[in-house]
Copies of this chain bind each other. A is one copy, B any other.
Amino acid sequence: MKAYELRNDSGAIKLAIVQRPKPSPAAGEVLVRMRAASLNYRDLMISKAPRSAPLVPLCDGAGEVSAVGAGVTHIKVGDRVASTYFQDWISGPLTAAAFRTVLGQAIDGVLAQYVVLKEHGVVRIPEHLSYEEAATLPCAGLTAWQALITEGRIKSGDTVVVMGTGGVSIFALQFALLSGARVIATTGSEAKMDRLRALGASAVINYKTTPEWDKQVLELTGGAGADHVVEVGGAGTLPRSLRAVRYGGFISLIGILGGIGEKFNPGNIITKGVRLQGIFVGSQEMFEDMNRAIARNGLRPVVDRTFQFDEAAAALAFLESGGHFGKICIRL
């Protein structure tokens, strides 16, 4: 079968298509014929990091089960499934052990025609989704779900701030609307403002023309501040998020895209009684909760562009350009 590998080529990290033997599922495992994969920002960082051993990249994949190992009872051949980010985070709190099972980082990922995963390392996908759409869920979708639903417990009437048009932010916008919340979105692109409004954002702020977007959020909430900020910019935007959030509000800390150059003053975390909650993807149980919500509401993930199998490098380059709106996929 064909697979991609990240490998060390005289000091430089290269992404190459290789031939690998088709794997077989052991006891408790399933073999998945991958049909689609999806990119995340972490894949960009991983694709540039020094490494000694080759690695099959990407954590997000969807396909159909083509074989199951001994003792597998919940999954059967023919099931349409997606991979879970942590192969060993089933339920309860995250553990250090789960980190040793992260796809496309700690262990081989999903950018291959056939991939062996644990029985509890896959979830069945909603019927109305294509494989490309389902492949967007394991990392970006679940991160947004954990932030707003599992931890944030947003309720109808809340105001949620999302930043930019990356995968997590678009999912957060969709899950917030699904929950009856109101969304204020920020973007640096005039062209994307209309698309955010079309998706249901009730207000969109261009942070380039309105750098003090936190003041705008306060105004839009009658001075009270937002209930929840989905913070994907990290320390760079965190000071503004802290000004934009209400007393006792919730900030989901997800990304560090904006860098960490500014000195961090925790003062108004204290005086406003803010909850700053680190969010790192999620468990299989959360994934199944999310899929149930997606299925029952017919929600469709936003796929910006799908590349062919041999265009993986172009897909990563498109991600790096930052011009996307939603998710980027690769067909297998």
Contact = CB atoms under 8 A, between A and B. Distances in A.
A73 B151 CA distance: 31
A280 to B, nearest CB: 5
Interface stretch (A129-137, A207-215, A290-298): A290-298
Given A156-B175, A157-B293, A179-B180, A275 B273 contact: no
A27 B71 CA distance: 10
A248 B151 CA distance: 11
B267 A264 contact: no
A235 interface: yes
Contacts of A265: 235, 256, 260
Contacts of A238: 266
Contacts of A269: 253, 276, 278
Given A278-B270, A280-B273, A156 B182 contact: no
A263 B263 contact: yes
B253 A293 contact: no
Nearest to A275: B277
A179 B153 contact: no
A308 interface: no
B92 A92 contact: yes
Stoichiometry, as copies per complex, reads: 4
Nearest to A265: B260
Interface in A137-177: 149, 153, 155-157, 175
Interface stretch (A1-9, A48-56, A93-101, A188-196): A93-101
Contacts of A178: 156, 180
A81 interface: no
Q: Which 3 A-B pairs have the closest CB atoms?
A: A157-B293, A264-B264, A91-B92
A220 B314 CA distance: 45
B91 A91 contact: yes
B285 A279 contact: no
Nearest to A294: B157
A280 B270 contact: yes
A266 B237 CA distance: 12
A278 to B, nearest CB: 4
A10 B276 CA distance: 43
A167 to B, nearest CB: 16
Interface string A219-255: 0000100000000001100100000000110000111
Contacts of A278: 266, 268-276
A90 interface: yes
Interface string A287-313: 001101111110000000000000000
A299 to B, nearest CB: 9
A264 B235 contact: yes
